[in-house]
Amino acid sequence: MKRLAFATATALLAAQAATAETARFQFCWIGANGYTMEGVIEFPEELLDTDIISERQVTGFRIQGYKDGVPVGFWSLDMATPETSWTLSFDTRSLRFPTGGSRSQQTYQEWNANGEVNDCGAVGGFGFNGGNWAQDVCIDNRWIEDSSIDPFTPLRAFPMDVRLNCDPVVPVS
């Protein structure tokens, strides 16, 4: 009888998980010198308005990097391995990725790029790091110093139906 109850409960949980709604948001990051990144984060809708979630609660995540509008690399949570640098904090109330680079304050972001920003994949590799020195990208296992911006630069997410403009602002001379 216990086995049947467990099997029934497991089937019920699986059915609930299959029908659970997914919260999905898009974001764009504008770095220095023409570097930008667009991305999508997904997590169970029940986590909306709960506080900070981590990479362990994210169910879908992908980022695409650009230099002057030309694609330079891509990374998706589906590509993660045990060796992947993957740390994420996301505030489900304010729809922001906390920034500033402190692990203890959950403001550190490591999306397929470690603190040295040099481990994102040798060919076609792309990653983002929001550490205490800067926010910047990694391309083909190389830190792209030219992409670096202030570590406290806000990084917000938006509903999927909002049109984002990820074009870098070019100063007018």
| Residue pLDDT, tens place only, 105-133 | 989 999 999 999 999 998 889 999 999 99
Q: Is residue 166 part of a domain?
A: no
pLDDT at position 157: 98
Q: Is residue 28 part of a domain?
A: yes
Joined tokens for residue 44: 């169970």
Q: Is residue 2 part of a domain?
A: no
Q: What is the pTM of this model?
A: 0.84
H-run or E-run covering 13: helix 2-19
- The proportion of the chain whose per-residue pLDDT surpasses 90, expressed as a percent, equals 78
Q: What is the DSSP track for 154-169?
A: -EEEEETTSPP--PPP
Q: What CA–CA distance (Å, rounded) separates 26 from 43?
A: 12
Q: Is residue 16 part of a domain?
A: no
| Domain enclosing residue 143, as ranges | 22-159
For the stretch 135-167, pLDDT in tens is 999 999 999 999 999 999 999 999 999 999 888
Q: Is residue 36 part of a domain?
A: yes
Q: How confident is the model at residue 171 (pLDDT cuts 50, 70, 90)?
A: low
Q: Is residue 79 part of a domain?
A: yes
Helix (H, G, I), strand (E, B) or coil at 101: coil
Q: Is residue 3 part of a domain?
A: no
Q: Is residue 110 part of a domain?
A: yes
| HSE of 78, CA atoms in CB hemisphere, 13 A | 6
For the stretch 74-95, pLDDT in tens is 999 999 999 999 999 999 999 9
Number of domains the chain contains? 1
